Structure formats: structure tokens, C-alpha cells
Structure 1
Amino acid sequence: MLVPLGRLVRHPVIQGVLALGLLGAVVYSVDRVALWRALRTADLLYVAAAGLLTLPNLALDGWIWARAARPRVVMPWRTWAGATLCGCAAGFVTPAQLGEFPARAWAVPRADRWTLVGAVGVQRVMDLWAALAGGLVGVGGLLAADVLPAPTLWGLVVGATAGTLAGLSWVMLRPGRVVAWLRRWSRTRPAARRLLFLRDLSPLRVGLLLGATLVRYALYAGQFVLLAWAFAPSLPVGLLAAASGFIFFVKVLLPSLALDLGIREGTALFAFAQLGWPAPAAVGAALLLFVLNVAVPAGLGALVLHRRLALSSSPLPA
């Protein structure tokens, strides 16, 4: 029996192989001796400063989710912090980090699971919105510097993205309309009932959460700038920030692989090549960004998840 190609490509093992293959191709395209030398001689002060930014980033991640779930689910900070780390661990080993949804909901005892899962979905949409907004700034900065090939094509991409961003903003600021639209269709009434928490999201609160999400992505950009300075401290901050926005933007446009491995590093390598900057700095900064924002939180989350599983008889939902 033949397996459809799309389903085969989405298989976790295939996703992992493709991601590792793409990452290997990116590393192979760089002088490995120079890359290893750059990693060994990186300025640890900049790396440590970037690592410190992981803490407020994780805190904002959990806070945005907890605020999106209110008032139907009210969590103390210890609860949402632990649940956020559990989500990081589960997302690390699942395609498109989908394990984050059930893991967060499972980690909050005696709560409305549908609201918790729905709040993660709301946060994902806000993350998409912030990545598109940051991407517009990044691509605009690189276009202004006249370093991107095919500027007309990129201008069309920017225009389409701006339209998408405007539409997404309209939808997010009117979550009640989404529920009302779903309730019109008989087949989606159960889904509409599970999304009733969206009616509690006022435009003011949505605006506050979008602002907090933008701060998270500013922290991402700051981390990338600091990590790039760890390898090449003379690089200009403005173009570095634009390059970071470009990287997140391309990650949204391209099909997702396991943990975005290879996409992040390949996009950084492309941006640095257009700017005439050293390739080892691009790949090294992107790899360390993955370690700080994905691997380290997943490792901490695995410890929290293991402890909670040991204390609970409830199995983790599939």
C-alpha cells in the first residue's frame, strides 16, 4: 500500500531527517575549520548576555498564554511557568511543536482543557502576527540597504504580507466575530462552544497581548544581535536587527521542518552573504540561538515534566 507523499513528508522521522540534512548542507557549505574556530573563540560575555534574555522571553511566553486563558482559567505564576516549560519539552519532540498544546493543558490540573489548548492557539496566531510585523521591518531594512536580489519580487512579498497582516489584525481584534461566524455553521457548533473563551478577549486585552508578543520578538532580535557580536563585534546593530527580522520572516514563509533546523541557519547564511559578512558568524549565531531558545527550555521542561509525571498517575494525552 502506497503512502501519500504529503503524509510521508509530515512523518516525524522524515521531518527530522530532512531537517538534519538541511542543517548538514548549510554547515557543509561553510568552511568547517573557520566555523569551529569561531565557535571556540566566541566572546562568552555576549553569549551570556543573550542567554539572560531567554528568561524574560520564557516568562512573557507563559504570561501571554495565561492572560489569553482568563477569566475562564486563572493560574498562579508557578502553574503557568511550569506548564510553559512542559510545553517546550513536548514541542521539542513533536512535528511543528504540536505537543505543546496538550502538554500545557495537561500540566494545569482541574482546569478547562479546551480553553487552555485554545489559548495556545491564540498565542500561535499572535506569534505569526509578530513574525510578519518584524519581517516587514527586516525586509524593508535590507531593501533600503539595497542588498537583496530581485528587489521587485521582495517588494511584492512585502505588499502581500502587509495585506495579510492587516487582515490578521482585524480578525484578532474581533474574536467574538470568529465565534459568531463558527456558530452559523451546524457542523462547527461543537468547535464554537469550545471557543467561547474568545468572547472574553476584549480589543484592549488583545492589543496588550500583541504588544507583549512584539516585546518577545524584540528579545529574539536582541539575542541574535548579541550572538552575532560574539563572533563579529564590529557588525552594525541596525542591519543586524534587520537580518534577524528577515530570518523570522523567511521561517514563516517556508514549510516547517523539525524545530526549523536548517531553515534558521540557512536564512542567516543567505542574509550575511548578501551583506558581505562572515559566514561562520551567521551559522554560529543561528545555532546558538537554537540552543538558547529551543534546546535549553526543552531540557528544563523535560525535568519539570518528568517530576510531574512521577507525582501524577494521569498519563500525558496523545
Structure 2
Amino acid sequence: MTSSKEKIIVLRFSAMGDVAMVASVLREFTAQHPETEIVMVSRTAFKPFFTSIHNLKFHAIEPKTTHKGLVGLYRLYKELKQYKASSIADLHDNIRSRAVSSFFRISGIKIKRINKGRAEKKALTRTEQKVFKPLRQTVERYADVFRELGYTLKLSHQLQRNPQTLPEKVANLFNTTTKKIGISPFAQHIYKVYPYDKMEQVIASLSEKGNQLFVFGGGEVEKNIAENWAGKYHNTHNLIGNFNLTEELAIISNLDLMLSMDSSGMHMASLMGVPVISVWGPTHPYAGFLGYGQAEKDCVQIHHPNRPNSIYGNKPCLCGVESCMDLIQPQTIVNKIEEKLNG
């Protein structure tokens, strides 16, 4: 299917990490189908994920204003209709994406929707009769939608490094031969976050070994925590609140390694082709959300019969008195990072 008239509208509105995963898939899709145009519909904030993708136009959804409610979604449909797309790839399958795609279905446009595998995810996370096995990766579930639309698509599952030009404010920090490690210690749900006191021990150890450390991701509270670490430990830099997403992606693209939770930091690093050491608590890479091109052997986690008990990390750990995050020793993370850097 290579007609230049073909155009696919892709719907994935949130969350940040999921949208970054879509960008990884679309980069491979457009390389394999250079004549097919993509219209990516997502939140304005996520546009930087898609700027370097060939033959892609970004269309913003404004769910709190212009596109609020059913009337707003119909307005979005009318905007998207102007593109004269041949098909719709709904990679979200939520109320909003279903509403928009249903408008298109009524007008005779082919719709395919992601199969999220809800039943098997429930089986993976329940306590009784848990079915503990790797599920289909989310990026492959995204790719399946394009396959159902009739396109061939083979994902490489390889990191593709493409260093961007560094923002001037940090360029001098990259002029040394020391290892550059990104640290993305925060997450939307607190249960996915490695305890701050233990993370501080990791930072202290990595700083003492002479690495350059860059702390990413978060709001005002997280910024204060990162500023505190930067003030205490040599060669530790807070980036929170100092750079926009485009600049952050450029900095990430020049790192040697990222240390991240099961969160958007992992997916941003994956998009920029950077290896990640990821730390997992009540969630698990078996659910399919490991960063694109990342290896399971680079996941730090404890083994417990009650893990995982959550897909999204919005439920507390069920591992007993100490949570599964608390049971991970800082030295374990430091060792894994050194092994990866020196491997």
C-alpha cells in the first residue's frame, strides 16, 4: 500500500509515556511506508515527540477548551475531516477517541482500534490464580492496528541513536569525557517511585564516582527535591523547570544512560535511542510497557508472588510490611548502572 493519496489519522491523546511509544512506532512505520501520510492527533505538549518523523502532520486536541465534551469532539472531527484520510488508527480506545472514530465510521471511513488485552492484564495482576507470563508489548499492539488496516509493519525493537544539538545552557557540561547519566526519579503515581532517601544514596554514589548527573521530570515539588540533590552532590544538575520538552529530548539524546522509574522518562530515552536502567515496583515489564528497544535484563525489580498487582502503578504494593520498592537496595541499582556503562 504505497499510494501517495493514503493518509492515516492516528489517535492517542495521553499519557506522556504512551504517546512517546507511539512516536517510536510511527518512526518505523513512516520509514517502511514513505508514501503514506500520517496525521497524529494528541495534546499540544507532546508535539516535540513527532517533529523529526517523515511525512507526519501534528494536529492538537485541546480537551479542556476547544474540544471539550461531545460538541467539542464533533468539532475536532470536523477539523480532521479536512485531511480526507483513508483510515483511522485509534491507539487509545478511550471515550474521546471512540467518539471521534465513531463520527468517522458513520461517514464510511475505515476504523481500527487497539486491543489493550484487558482480560490478560487482569490475570497478570490478580492475587489469586495469577497468570504470570509476558504479555504482548504495547508497541506491538500499536503496530497491530496498522497491520489490521492492511499495512505490513515490522518493528526492529532496536534503539536508534540520533544525538540532537544541545541547548547552550548545558553544552559545556557535555565537553568532558565523564559519563552522562540522566535520572528520572519521579512518576505520576507515587507507588512507582523509588523512595527518595534511597534514590539520594544512588545519586551520592554515582556522583562520587565522577559521573555527570542530570535530573529530569516533574513539577514544583519535584524541582525542589532535585535542587536539593544538585546542591549537595558534585556534578549533579537539576533540569526540572529549566528546559522545554524539545530541549529535554535534545539533552537526553546525548546521554550515555538513563535511570528511570516505569514512567515517561524511560519512554523518552527510548525514543532518543538511549539505554535505560529502569526500576519497577507494583508494575512489571511483563505487562508490555517496557521502553521501546530496552532489555528486560536492565530492569531492577524484586521477585515476589504478589508482583505485579497493578498495570499503571496506581495501587500500593502487596508485598508485605516493606514495599517491593523499599526492598531494592541502592547498591543494586548502582551496580546495574556500572555494569551497563562498562559492558
Higher RCO (CA-CA < 8 Å; seq separation 6+): 1
- Structure with more strand by fraction: 2
Q: TM-score, normalised by structure 2?
A: 0.26
